[in-house]
Amino acid sequence: MVNHGMVLSALGTVTDPELHYDIVTLNMVRNIGIQGDEVTVDVALTVKGCPLHERIETDVETAVRKLPGVAEVHVNLDVMNDEERRTAFARAFQQSQKQNAPTSNANRSAQGTGADPGSASWSPLLAKDSKTVLLGIASGKGGVGKSTVTANLAVALGRLGFRVGVMDMDIYGYSQGRMLGATEQAMGNEQQKVIPLNPHGVFVVSMGMFVKGNQAVVWRGPMLGKMMQQFFTDIAWPQLDYLLIDLPPGTGDVALDVATRLPMASLVIVTTPQIVAKEVAMRTADVAHRAEQRILGVVENMSYIPLAGGQRMEIFGSGGGEELSKTLSVPLLGQVPMETSVREGGDRGVPVFLSAPDSEASQTFLQIAQKIDAAARA
């Protein structure tokens, strides 16, 4: 006859598609009931309306049904409370640290702990043999949707199965906390390192974690360099496949500073269809070239408003993205339409890629993520 232990180990083979760890480790199994050959499993999902709940449900059912002596499986889905969610993410985090402890320790001791700006000693993430792809999301000016693109590409890459981090380096215009729905203050671990927040399975660090309310950040010069260093050294980043960096817009001191410190980053440049926007974005590309950063491609955002019958209204003109990509000899990775759901997603902290996965914008983000992955690994 089937027993509790057998069911539990079967459930240990079911992974949460977003956090990429098994549901037992993640504390998602609330209860297991066995009555003869009938098994009932209560599973708590990390987020309400989790778009992947059906997959979890089917996976649980399949895993338990395989056990000898099981004729029927019932799966009850519920949603975690805040406390449970915190535990789940803490466990996912511990797990990722555990898995990668040997490499990161080796990196650390090989490089020493000196804080030499721009060198790998800042973090194993920056080490030469690091497997993490650093992806800077840049734009010539603010308001073109750089942060929106960053947040959506992060969750899209997560959906492709990658472990993704987001570093909000737009110190003055930080917005990733809001966009990804992570507005908690920073919390430290035993090593006095700050634990990234983990909304939607993405690891996030943003200035919002360190300032109360909506305070403006007024640091200058050396403080900024220090800040950036801390975003690498003082954060307990888990092993990541991708670290997306929401860069400061434009070509001012801050943007330059960041670029020269991260020569190993690849860039995605976000622009709008206007030709003037293209001119501005060109200067960003120039900074990237000087810092020897590789430009992966261009994303044109707010390209058009989709109309009924497949027509497109191009309110911001057209051609900017394509021209920019031609001038830079890099691919145009995608043209993201303007949709109300995109803005709403950002305001609500649930990126459109998750809240409206079938929308044209979401489909475009998925294609861009796939192209980025192909290019980053090429």
Ligand X SMILES: Nc1ncnc2c1ncn2[C@@H]1O[C@H](COP(=O)(O)OP(=O)(O)O)[C@@H](O)[C@H]1O
> Site residues (CB under 5 A) for Mg ion?
147, 173, 175
CA trace torsion 25, 26, 31, 36 (10° rounding): -50
CA pair distance 122, 112, nearest whole angstrom: 9
Our CB check for ligand X shows the closer of 46 and 147 to be 147
301: partner contacted, choices Mg ion, ligand X, none (Cβ within 5-8 A by kind): ligand X
308: left (phi over 0), alpha (psi -120 to 50) or beta: beta
143 binds ligand X (CB under 6 A): yes
139 binds ligand X (CB under 6 A): yes
Name the DSSP letter for residue 191.
Answer: T
CB of 227 to Mg ion, least distance (A): 17
95 to 124, contacts with ligand X by CB under 6 A?
Answer: none
- Among 373, 292, 368, 366, CA closest to 325: 368
Tokens in use for 132? Answer: 């993490």
351 to 370, contacts with ligand X by CB under 6 A?
Answer: 361
CB of 170 to Mg ion, least distance (A): 5
CB of 270 to ligand X, least distance (A): 7
Q: Residues 309, 315, 321, CA angle at the centre, nearest 5°?
A: 100
Q: Residues 187, 192, 198, CA angle at the centre, nearest 5°?
A: 35
Our CB check for ligand X shows the closer of 136 and 346 to be 346
What are residue 203's DSSP bridge partners? 165
167 binds ligand X (CB under 6 A): no
Q: What does DSSP say about strands 38-45 and 72-79: parallel, antiparallel, or unpaired? A: parallel
4: partner contacted, choices ligand X, Mg ion, none (Cβ within 5-8 A by kind): none
* Sole binder of ligand X in the list 44, 264, 298, 302 (CB under 6 A): 302
| Segment near ligand X (CB under 6 A); pick from 84-92, 103-111, 140-148, 321-329 | 140-148
CB distance 271 to 135 below 8 Å: no
CB of 250 to Mg ion, least distance (A): 12
145 binds ligand X (CB under 6 A): yes
271: partner contacted, choices ligand X, Mg ion, none (Cβ within 5-8 A by kind): none
CB of 137 to ligand X, least distance (A): 9
CB distance 200 to 152 below 8 Å: no
Our CB check for Mg ion shows the closer of 145 and 297 to be 145
142 binds ligand X (CB under 6 A): yes
| Segment near ligand X (CB under 6 A); pick from 5-13, 73-81, 112-120, 143-151 | 143-151
| Segment near ligand X (CB under 6 A); pick from 19-27, 45-53, 87-95, 334-342 | 334-342
Q: Name the residue type at position 49.
A: G
Pattern of binders to ligand X over 335-354, x per CB under 6 A?
Answer: -x-xx--xx--x--------
DSSP, residue by residue, 83-121: HHHHHHHHHHHHHHHHHHHHHHHHHHHHH-S---TTSGG
CA pair distance 63, 73, nearest whole angstrom: 10
Binding site for ligand X (CB under 6 A): 139, 142-148, 175, 301-302, 336, 338-339, 342-343, 346, 361
